[in-house]
Structure 1
């Protein structure tokens, strides 16, 4: 698995490093683990300081060098596109780490007797401080994966650096964090070109000069593929149910006839159904990966594009989080006294979904952002532990930022799975620059029941054929999940009484009842059920995978 990190040793102690790491700098140590191509890590020395950028970034080496000695290192992050982490070591031994605004490149810290270690893998750091899973974090994940406990990771003793924050570690083992990014306000017309620039530059940072593949399905992935074509050929892949080779995503994919695009269909066969065992085993990741339950399909798809020579695979993940807003803006309108607009938007949303508008109006009046965003959410009946009440901010902007950050962090676990193929799984919609541009637009201007993803279409729609610009639907695979449950029913029922039950987190009886219901085709609230099954799969893998071994710098070099 590819990750990076470093150590700020306590006085009188020798710094440590993970076994098998390669030192980028030795004093204080900064290391890399796994394969890091030059385009994903660039470092510059000069003026008594050293600076490195890890990840996909639009900045050149000259751009990076300009920030060797500036006081405000966060100014660098604010002007570059991509998903990346900036690390600087000054002449007096101070280590600064700039965490990206969207949480697409997580950073963690852990304290031990020898000082502070930091890095981009919470599981790796846990090997130094005990290696135990944080049961409270896991319980919160099972309750609602989108609002896990603040300041906690999936591992005991390992603390996330908050997204959009600046980690500063001084000689002697002291560490502090402070925010560097907050949403700013712009008009819609000001934000549109910024969204365009962030997406174009973010895709370029990933696609230029390498073999690229891309999902070609909904509007988001298709847009990423079309942008990548500006910088070289693209292998486009569309997943579809076996025997259904017309309509849906396939129709739109076949209509995308552009120079440089080679298109291939990937039929979803019975062995690819959700919950099916995969030829490629799951890897130990920092937390339960969203694709764990569909790993049979995703791993086969990734194997196909890797065998075709792809180095970078683009997805449209994050596009819905950014551009397909639930009616959370209704609470913002109430706060501003715009009650007529609030009622009008609530009625339009309700007509579109054939529901009553009055629950929306009531939620807006009592400033219940959670109810506006996800009215179906309730405590899973199989969850045994008491989860602390998590505050849900009524602000649509806060909900947007929190939703993107949570999804981006979880997607990072998917990218860790992809490392097994020597392939980069890249999600340009989770870039901090994209989030900054979108979140700056007033919430009621981001929302529309009359146009699909208006901000995205206005920013880059001219790059798409007319058919795709006007698309308002996306592929739905719910029936495949029901079939996958039926085919793998015995295995899933066994999992319901597995490690989560042993930890006292779930009651197997109601969990098995939910699995049976889904197998029979009953209407299913999928998110909590998928979270439980993904967590069970994750526990099995991490409990059977040895923790990362840590050694002193001398041993590691020797």
Structure 2
């Protein structure tokens, strides 16, 4: 699925001529000029027209064309576009054409993005960056590609830099306004909420938002599927989905660690979900991580860290497609929204100083850290721009063991140990350019900033998974990443979202009466490092083979010899293996673009 948005002017006709050969559908402005062109399933679009005004909703949304027309009739210009979809659940792109002016935006979660570029001298917006890259010559931005070797989602502005030259990513919280002559303006349509709601009120709001999100997945009936790992995130989605009109298939993939109690909890949930069909895939029936990477991969819009799971995703799509599933639900985003991130303590001591001591004592005991280290982290006053500047200056190619208890704006920035000096310099230049602009955080509160940052990283991941699996006939959805759910979760007080001695108290409170009580009280969490290392042992040689004639090496971004040495250890440590996913993502993405060839980078000293 893709679509492009054209301005309502003569200048847009030339750009339309470039894109039309790839498009299967066209929707016109009131003037008769092309407005939306692309390819999309009929059930994925709601369209309304009132006089000279047009509005389209593309994605999951319960609105009917009739209701959309009534809503459109209440506004007079594109500046008030958000009123048309106020209160609607789901995950969707929104675009309108009113009196010659055009507006378009994606989602705050980054699940649905908008990009724009100059095509034949006029600005064109699109839902996929590679469509615009094709229209503008397909040149890769090697400097931005170097930053993709960093862990995903570490710096907010990096998420808004694309790997294609001449193509600009619209930040998720912005709307793009296009005038008839193709000139543009950008305005903010979404702001993160203030965390002021008490738990009871917040749980009620979350329950309503999450129920609405899942309802948009089940509303069309038929058969849908959902992960059932045994954790609270996936279990909650399954119980909500079971109450809808669609037939539900749950999926549990067994892990290799005999100490992992996820299967036991998944069995309990499956027993309570008697009306659903339950699919259990044994650990000897499912591809391991890193399988099939030496096989040809289809070209993707951009590098995807999920590429290491390509064989698993394809296998699951085949199984569930055979069983009739039209949509698959996953619980990604739940950990990021409902588990307490350490920076909440930094915010809590400033906003609720009488509540903070109990949380500090509890976290100190759990983390087994000293009071000195804890209080020093809480006392830090570094603002976001200064933090980014410092991290940029410290950037180098070295493994960095993550500090799970850090209260900074983000983790240390480290390129993988196999990054070349040229790659480090390129990434440093990009980050320095961002830092020079003194970027504001996503929220003035560190915990809110990180929760939204990681939720957007999850949104980008879901977007990439969905692009891959939709080609195989099974689209994906992650209701926790619907904007209304994110807003409800981030509206709750930090201390009550974190809780003391209870796992994900906000989600548990919201699911009371829907999910059986014993499952809401689970305090353990499954761990899958055994599966990771089993996959690595089985497919290590194939992964290393990818780098024998590396595209990243040809560009001067990595040293394949250093990579091989780092990965051939008897048992590579997690902070060495961690960067591998992003490196694989970039390598396989470049290979998928062949025969497009890019000039090698000029390397320099570190």
The alignment's TM-score, normalised by the length of structure 2, stands at: 0.83
**Correspondence list, 1:99-248, <5 A:** 99-146=106-153, 147=155, 149=158, 151-185=160-194, 186-188=196-198, 189-208=200-219, 209-217=221-229, 218-231=231-244, 232-241=246-255, 248=261
Q: Confirm or deny: 8 A CA contact 2:306 2:581 kept in the other structure.
A: no
Quote the residue 2:363 is aligned against. Answer: 349
Structure 1 residue 271: Cα displacement: 6.6
**Correspondence list, 1:52-63, <5 A:** 52-63=56-67
Structure 1 residue 206: Cα displacement: 1.2
Task: Give the Cα separation in 1 of the matches to 2:93 and 2:490.
Answer: 21
Quote the residue 1:66 is aligned against. Answer: 70
Of 486-495 and 342-351, deviating more is 342-351
**Correspondence list, 1:452-463, <5 A:** 452-463=503-514
2:547 maps to 1:511:
no
Task: Give the Cα separation in 2 of the matches to 1:267 and 1:29.
Answer: 51
2:332 maps to 1:317:
yes
Structure 1 residue 115: Cα displacement: 0.7
Q: 1:174 to 1:211 in 2, by over 3 A?
A: same
Quote the residue 1:413 is aligned against. Answer: 464
Quote the residue 1:86 is aligned against. Answer: 94
Q: 1:353 to 1:32 in 2, by over 3 A?
A: farther
Quote the residue 2:54 is aligned against. Answer: 50
Quote the residue 1:372 is aligned against. Answer: 407
Structure 1 residue 524: Cα displacement: 3.9
5+ residue gaps in structure 1?
Answer: 547-558
Structure 1 residue 429: Cα displacement: 0.8
5+ residue gaps in structure 2?
Answer: 388-405, 598-606
Cα deviations by residue, 1:349-379 (Å, 9 ceiling, x for unpaired): 2322444454343222114688326657644
Within the candidate set 451, 469, 475, 1:424 is matched to 475
Quote the residue 2:392 is aligned against. Answer: none
Within the candidate set 263, 267, 281, 1:266 is matched to 281
Q: Confirm or deny: 8 A CA contact 1:100 1:163 kept in the other structure.
A: yes
Q: 1:274 to 1:545 in 2, by over 3 A?
A: farther
2:483 maps to 1:471:
no
Matched length: 540
Task: Give the Cα separation in 1 of the matches to 2:462 and 2:187.
Answer: 25
Q: 1:78 to 1:104 in 2, by over 3 A?
A: farther
CA RMSD of aligned residues (A): 2.7
Q: Confirm or deny: 8 A CA contact 2:238 2:250 kept in the other structure.
A: yes
Task: Give the Cα separation in 2 of the matches to 1:191 and 1:516.
Answer: 49
The alignment's TM-score, normalised by the length of structure 1, stands at: 0.89
Quote the residue 2:264 is aligned against. Answer: 251
Within the candidate set 451, 461, 485, 2:536 is matched to 485
Structure 1 residue 35: Cα displacement: 4.7
Q: Confirm or deny: 8 A CA contact 2:46 2:56 kept in the other structure.
A: yes
Task: Give the Cα separation in 2 of the matches to 1:270 and 1:211.
Answer: 23
Q: Which has the higher strand share?
A: 1
